[in-house]
Amino acid sequence: MSELRHDPISKTWVIIATERSRRPMDFVPSQETAADGSFCPFCEGHEDKTPPEIVAVRKPGTAPNSPGWQVRVIPNKFPALMIEGTPDRRGIGLYDKMRGIGAHEVIVETPEHNLLIPDMPDDQLGIVVDVWADRLRDLIRDRRFKYILLFKNHLPTAGASLAHPHTQIIATPVTPRAVAMKLESAKAHHQLKERCLFCDLIAQEIEDGSRIVYLDDHFVALTPYASRFPFEIFLAPRRHSHSFVETPPAELAAFGPALRDTLGRLRRALKDPPYNFVFHTAPNTETVPRRSHYWDTLPFDFHWHVEILPRLTKMAGFEWGTGFFINPTPPEVAAEFLRNA
């Protein structure tokens, strides 16, 4: 019989539809590619085909906006939000509006067109992770921005328009509702039990073991008890930490290999499926204007993490109308398959 499972973090219900259960091999392998490779503006030597770089990690003696880079950060050519100006929030009767102020950056992870994270050597992966942290650290200093999201779209079904390995960052002048729900859940749990909700869940999952995908001294990857999607993965530090940008160097160095291993298992298990991953880290608590006691308890109750979301099923009328998700693959089955991948 199918089950309804509740996620204590997002406060959402998920239907684990065991009666129409799908095994890992039942999902059709993706045959799509994000580009045919004939021309790529992100490849080395095409620097003049992108906006001027914001920052880059370069080989000694190479000039900005020229070949010789290892990781390159550029503004998105078609940004969702614009960097110039102030939000200017105002009311129109019952409605609110503000200017589309924010930041939209692209992090080109390597000069090599086909070097994906699961294949990256340690030195290149370490540079990528350091640049992610540096860009989040820089943007969070801007007091106009309440939240900064780092994410990856892999393959066109997941929203990628270019195949070249890259991630994106969008900074917004409001806290997204999905993030705010997590923050409220974490705060309520801490007020009741004086413990981090995420730490409690991680400890329970490690003790249970049935949904663990990856585990080392620093990080754990698991399929959530109330997984919204087949093979959804939650990756987080085992030590309590509310902000990715405040992660100690030793732990940051371990994060890249943990992400590489997890994405590699997903690729081997499902023949390189389309997916998104999103970083959920602490919001900016120094914004202007700032509400009284705005997320003051974050260092104690929130826990940064990454959600990896394979795009293997589609949402239809029931999901959109109710907010429920229907997942045909129990997370325990998915975790076992990924462990063996």
Segments making up each domain of the chain, as ranges: 3-339
Q: Which residue has the tokens 């943007």?
A: 139
Convert the pLDDT of each residue in 109-160 to its tens digit.
999 999 999 999 999 999 999 999 999 999 999 999 999 999 999 999 999 9
Distance CA 55, CA 338 (A): 36
pLDDT value of position 82: 83
30, pLDDT greater than 60: no
Burial class for 66, CB neighbours closer than 10 Å (0-12, 13-18, 19+):
middle
With 60 as the cut, is the pLDDT of residue 33 above it? Answer: no
- What's residue 4's pLDDT? 66
pLDDT at position 292 over 80? no
Q: Which of 15-24, 122-131, 145-154, 303-312 has the lowest average pLDDT?
A: 15-24
Measure the CA–CA gap between 96 and 85, rounded to whole angstroms.
18
Q: What is residue 2's three-state secondary structure?
A: coil
Mean pLDDT confidence for 68-94: 88
How confident is residue 183, by pLDDT bands cut at 50, 70 and 90? very high
DSSP state of 209: -
Which two three-digit tokens encode residue 295? Answer: 């997320």
Which residues are CB-neighbours of 242 under 8 A, at least 6 positions away? 281, 282, 298, 299, 300, 301, 302, 303, 304
* Residue 322: strand, helix, or coil: helix
The model's confidence at residue 177, banded by pLDDT at 50, 70 and 90, is confident
Structure tokens at 7: 């996620």
Collapse the DSSP code of 119 into the 3-class scheme (helix H, G, I; strand E, B; otherwise coil) and give the result. Answer: helix
Q: Looking at the predicted structure, is the pLDDT value of residue 25 above 80? A: no
First to last CA, the chain: 28
In the chain, DSSP assigns E strands to 3-7, 12-16, 55-58, 69-75, 90-92, 95-97, 103-108, 147-154, 166-172, 212-215, 219-222, 233-237, 275-280, 305-310, 325-327
How is residue 48 annotated by DSSP?
G
* Confidence (pLDDT) at 32: 53
The answer to whether residue 89 scores a pLDDT higher than 90 is no
Between β-strands 12-16 and 325-327, what pairing exists: parallel, antiparallel or unpaired? parallel
Question: At residue 2, does pLDDT exceed 60?
Answer: no
CATH of domain 3-339: 3.30.428.10
Task: Tell me what pLDDT residue 149 has.
Answer: 96
- Is the distance from CB of 163 to CB of 33 less than 8 angstroms? yes
How much is the pLDDT for 67?
A: 96
Which tops the pLDDT comparison, 9 or 189?
Answer: 189
Q: Pick the most confident of 22-31, 35-44, 126-135.
A: 126-135
* Helical (H) or strand (E) element with 317: helix 317-322
The Cα–Cα gap between 168 and 326 comes to 28
Mean pLDDT for the stretch of residues 231-237: 98
Lay out the sheet containing 55-58: strands in order across: 55-58, 69-75, 103-108, 166-172, 147-154, 275-280, 305-310, 233-237, 219-222, 212-215
Higher-pLDDT residue of 124, 35: 124
Q: How confident is the prediction for the chain on average, in pLDDT? A: 90
147: which strand partners? 172
Burial of 101 (0-12, 13-18, 19+ CB in 10 A): buried
Which CB contacts under 8 angstroms, 24+ apart, belong to 213-217?
213/262, 213/265, 213/335, 213/338, 213/339, 214/258, 214/261, 214/262, 214/265, 216/254, 216/258, 217/254
DSSP state, residue 293: T
pLDDT of residue 141: 93
- pLDDT at residue 20 greater than cutoff 70: no
pLDDT of residue 48: 95
Which letter does DSSP use for residue 259 in this model?
A: H
Residues forming beta bridges with residue 153, ordered by sequence position: 276
